[in-house]
């Protein structure tokens, strides 16, 4: 039986531990010599990729007030990200930009996975915007520096264009989303909302003549120790936009996460025992 953490034995220490981790988290970033993107500009001329994410998930199984709270949280975070440029040599960090999003208007309670359980938590739901941010930036040649999958998908996600395994969970003080611009182009992120969707976009200062497609392969499910897991491989394909010629293909990462809801009965699940 694994040993319990100190904060599990003494829950009253959790706020102090979170404060300590957050302070160290940002201090490390100030000392790591990276240049973090934070400047905003007017729209750059070339639109690279745009997509959207449904705001309200009717399949969460929880009171819908948490979904509406999540939308308010997303709008606060989006205001700090919108129109930020990522210049050559700069690194985009989700938390470096979003860390002060609730200074003027506090976050509301949204749903979060904590110790394997879905619970309402202040600022819950921000993973939806980190997911969309990661997805649109995958359609550029930016280098993934840090990305974390969700440990468990607790309920089915609404239909979208994003393949399985392209999520990016964030947890201030513990998990960030970072991508570095190792190219000679400048990129820009943008977010906006309508009644039903959050929209995300990435633009550039010039066109490199290429399209970047994200392809998922080897999607599999297996059961081990009574738990179901999903594995997936994600590739990025660089394609000449004019000729359609495949110029390059690279494996980005292997993804693995637990599944916390019932899959359709026809889903093949490999049995791996203990």
pLDDT, tens digit, for every residue of 217-254? 999 999 999 999 999 999 999 999 999 999 999 999 99
Helix, strand, or coil (residue 88): coil
Per the domain annotation, does 229 fall within a domain? no
What percentage of the chain has pLDDT greater than the value 90?
74
112 or 5: which leads in pLDDT: 112
Tokens standing for residue 10: 């003494």
The pLDDT of residue 171: 93
**Greater pLDDT, 31 or 9:** 31
Domain carrying residue 192: 34-208
| 216 within some domain | no
132 within some domain? yes
Q: Report CA-CA distances (Å) from 11 to 8, 109, 178, 193.
A: 6, 19, 30, 38
The pLDDT of residue 120 is 81
**147 falls within a domain:** yes
pLDDT of 94 higher than 90: yes
Q: Does residue 1 carry a pLDDT above 60?
A: no
Quick check: is 97 in a domain? yes
pLDDT of residue 8: 61
Does residue 7 register a pLDDT over 80?
no
State the average pLDDT over residues 34-52: 97
Higher-pLDDT residue of 247, 12:
247
Res 270 pLDDT > 70? yes
- How are beta strands 187-193 and 85-86 bridged, if at all? antiparallel
Is residue 70 one of the residues assigned to a domain? yes
Distance between CA atoms of 50 and 189, rounded to whole angstroms?
10
- 133 lies in some domain: yes
Q: What percent of the chain has pLDDT over 70?
A: 92
Round the average pLDDT of the chain to a whole number and report it: 91
* pLDDT at residue 61 is higher than 70: no
Average pLDDT on 47-63 reads: 86
Is the pLDDT assigned to residue 181 strictly greater than 70? Answer: yes
Mean pLDDT within 23-32 = 94
- Conformation bin of residue 177: beta by default, left when phi > 0, alpha when psi is -120 to 50: beta
Range from 69-83, 107-121, 197-211 carrying the lowest mean pLDDT: 107-121
- The model's pLDDT over 118-175, given as tens digits with 9 standing for 90+, comes to 788 888 899 999 999 999 999 999 999 999 998 888 777 766 778 889 999 999 999 9
> How many domains is the chain built from?
1
- CA 173/CA 187 separation, integer angstroms: 26
- Please report whether residue 19 resides in a domain: no
CA distance linking residue 229 with residue 210, whole number of Å: 35
Find residue 255's DSSP bridge partners.
232
Q: Is the pLDDT of residue 188 over 60?
A: yes
pLDDT score of 201: 98
E strands along the chain, which residues? 35-36, 46-54, 85-86, 90-93, 109-114, 117-122, 143-146, 152-153, 178-180, 187-193, 197-204, 210-224, 227-240, 246-259, 270-271
Q: Is the dihedral of CA 69, 73, 79, 85 positive or negative?
A: negative
């Amino acid at each position: 039986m694994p040993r319990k953490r100190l904060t599990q034995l003494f829950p009253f220490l959790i706020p102090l531990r979170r404060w300590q981790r957050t302070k160290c988290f940002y201090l490390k970033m100030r000392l790591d010599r990276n240049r973090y993107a934070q400047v905003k500009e007017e729209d750059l001329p070339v639109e690279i990729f745009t997509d959207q994410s449904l705001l309200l998930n009717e399949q969460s199984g929880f009171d819908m007030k948490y979904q509406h709270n999540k939308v308010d949280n997303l709008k606060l975070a989006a205001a700090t990200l919108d129109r930020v440029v990522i210049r050559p040599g700069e690194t985009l960090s989700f938390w470096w930009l979003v860390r002060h999003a609730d200074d003027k208007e506090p976050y509301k309670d949204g749903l979060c996975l904590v110790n394997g359980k879905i619970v309402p938590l202040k600022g819950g739901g921000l993973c939806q915007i980190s997911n969309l941010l990661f997805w649109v930036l995958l359609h550029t040649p930016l280098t993934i520096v840090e990305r974390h999958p969700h440990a468990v998908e607790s309920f089915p996600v609404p239909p979208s264009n994003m393949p399985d395994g392209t999520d990016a969970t964030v947890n201030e003080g513990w998990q960030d989303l970072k991508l570095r611009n190792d190219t000679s182009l400048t990129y820009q992120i943008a977010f906006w909302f309508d009644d039903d969707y959050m929209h995300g976009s990435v633009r550039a200062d010039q066109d490199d003549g290429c399209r970047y497609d994200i392809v998922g392969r080897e999607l599999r499910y297996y059961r081990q120790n009574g738990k179901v897991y999903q594995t997936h491989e994600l590739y990025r394909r660089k394609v000449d936009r004019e000729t359609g010629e495949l110029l390059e293909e690279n494996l980005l990462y292997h993804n693995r996460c637990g599944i916390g809801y019932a899959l359709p009965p026809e889903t093949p699940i490999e049995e791996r025992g203990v």
